[in-house]
Amino acid sequence: MPTFALIDGNSFYASCERVFRPDLAKTPIVVLSNNDGCVITRTREAKALGIRMGAPYFEVANLERKGLLTVFSSNYELYADMSRRMMDTIASLVPRFEVYSIDECFADLTGLTDDPTCLGQRIRARVEQWVGLPTCVGIGPSKTLAKFSNHLAKRHGKLSGVLDWGSLSPERQTKALASEPAAEVWGIGRRLAEQLAGMGIDSALDLARADPALIRRRFGVVVERVVRELNGTSCLTLEDVAPPRQQLVRSRSFGQLIHERDALAAALAHHTAQAAADLRAQGSIAGLIGVQLHTHRFRAQDAQYHACDWQALPVASCDTLALTRAALALLDKLYRKGFSYKKVGVLLGELLTGAARQADWLAPETDPARQALLGALDTVNHRYGRGTLRLGAEAIGHGWQMRREHASPCYTTRFDQLPTVS
DNA sequence: TCTGGGGTCCTAGGACCC
DNA sequence: TCTGGGGTCCTAGGACCC
């Protein structure tokens, strides 16, 4: 029987901030979405203040003004680097693992002779000591039960952050499933939870006891797998090699509404440059490029315009210049004067990676001089920070930058922002 | 006044083919 | 009156995840 562990960081983004701000160890913290829009991470203390997940910033600004809450703009450069350190540390203790998201990973503990709970505690202790981040570990015979155990480990302080499903008696397992709503189960979102409730399936236990054949007919194979996994039959495997991405999207809302084509073009050129760099970092080329343009969807009084168009690239490419040219041409097709724009984005599709890319014998070799130029671009931007070297197109318009009024330094990735010892 | 961004998978239905 | 049965590919939409 397989054994999976799910390890995830507690209030991950906020915990990353705390590593460099020990003065905030016990205080309520929230981290905001891009553009300081809404709350996406809350510490336990912030939850205790009654702050909702997804609450718009203005709802919590009051608490901040009174000094009851510390607010951070999201700093993905910092979180991504802390994530890498956390994953490297976990890799030093488990034979195989899968990075599932920025703050969590699955590990395969099948066949290990160690007691799973002890191993879970070792993982927690090492991540805490080496990286400074608090984690919880859930262990079970399926990924879904590992997730569920992790959820229980978070909820019940008595468990000291680790729960092995296999260590519970059948009676305790039944009680645990009965104590949580079906919506807490991985793979059951709001819509499915509503439909399940209509069938009298309210708790995780109800779901575990549902007839898989009936569930399959009503909801398809995905939910059927959830039911089987809840009963300890593993249907999902550990994917330790990440499949290459199939598409890449890069878009941001603006800090303020934009009317002029040039400002849109500057923002779009910026997103395209970032997307092209991401593409090169994973060794892919794109065959298709798209641009999307949006007005502010929450401003009902404004005329709305939402447009998107695609263009096949003559040659699949990861070249910043070629992609930017194509993106700007699409923008000029889509742009209509007179609207107040809130967001622009670039989409790259038909990505080819690795072997698939080699097999594309129709694609001519990229010009070596151009390759050297792109290599230099990536090297400089990696060493001195993204955006150090960029195209002129990014600089022709202003006013589109994100709002990030509570940004912390990139303590670990920029020389000029290293933490100093006082 | 203020409400993010980036992914994946599955299914149903239509076009088309033999 | 009768008017098959599969396949594949593509797209749109819906659901989920973090």
- DSSP letters spanning A204-231: HHHHHTS-HHHHHHHH-HHHHHHHHHHT
DSSP codes of every residue in A101-149: ETTEEEEE-TT--S-HHHHHHHHHHHHHHHT---EEEEEESSHHHHHHH
- Which residue did the predictor score with more confidence, A129 or A246? A129
User: Stated in angstroms, how far is A313 CA from B13 C1'?
Assistant: 29
The answer to whether position A206 is within a domain reads no
Q: Which nucleotide's C1' atom has the smallest distance to the CA of A191? A: C15
Q: What is the CATH number of the domain that holds A368?
A: 3.30.1490.100
The answer to whether position A131 is within a domain reads no
Range of the domain at A295: 248-394
pLDDT at A359: 60
The answer to whether position A34 is within a domain reads no
User: Stated in angstroms, how far is A219 CA from B9 C1'?
Assistant: 13
Phi and psi at residue A378, to the nearest 5°: -65, -40
**pLDDT tens digits along A158-173:** 999 999 999 999 999 9
Strand partners, A308: A292
The answer to whether position A322 is within a domain reads yes
Give me the mean pLDDT over the A283-312 stretch.
89
Strands (E), A244-332: 248-258, 284-295, 306-317
Give me the mean pLDDT over the A347-353 stretch.
89
**pLDDT tens digits along A259-290:** 999 999 999 999 999 999 999 988 889 999 99
Cα A249 to Cα A59, A213, A268, A387, distances in angstroms: 30, 37, 12, 18
Enter the pTM of the model: 0.92
User: Stated in angstroms, how far is A133 CA from C6 C1'?
Assistant: 56
Confidence tier at A62 by pLDDT (50, 70, 90): very high
Q: Quick one: what percent of chain A has pLDDT higher than 70?
A: 97
The answer to whether position A82 is within a domain reads no
The answer to whether position A14 is within a domain reads no
Report DSSP state, residue A186: T
Confidence tier at A99 by pLDDT (50, 70, 90): very high
User: Stated in angstroms, how far is A418 CA from C15 C1'?
Assistant: 43
The answer to whether position A216 is within a domain reads no
**pLDDT tens digits along A195-219:** 999 999 999 999 999 999 999 999 9
pLDDT at A363: 55
Kindly determine whether the C-beta of residue A250 is less than 7 Å away from any atom of nucleic acid strand B.
Answer: yes
User: Stated in angstroms, how far is A224 CA from B18 C1'?
Assistant: 35
Confidence tier at A23 by pLDDT (50, 70, 90): very high
The answer to whether position A371 is within a domain reads yes
Kindly determine whether the C-beta of residue A290 is less than 7 Å away from any atom of nucleic acid strand B.
Answer: no
Give me the mean pLDDT over the A230-252 stretch.
91
Q: Which nucleotide's C1' atom has the smallest distance to the CA of A222? A: B10
d(CA A297, CA A189): 24
**Domains of chain A: total:** 1
Cα(first)–Cα(last) distance of chain A, in Å?
Answer: 53
pLDDT at A358: 67
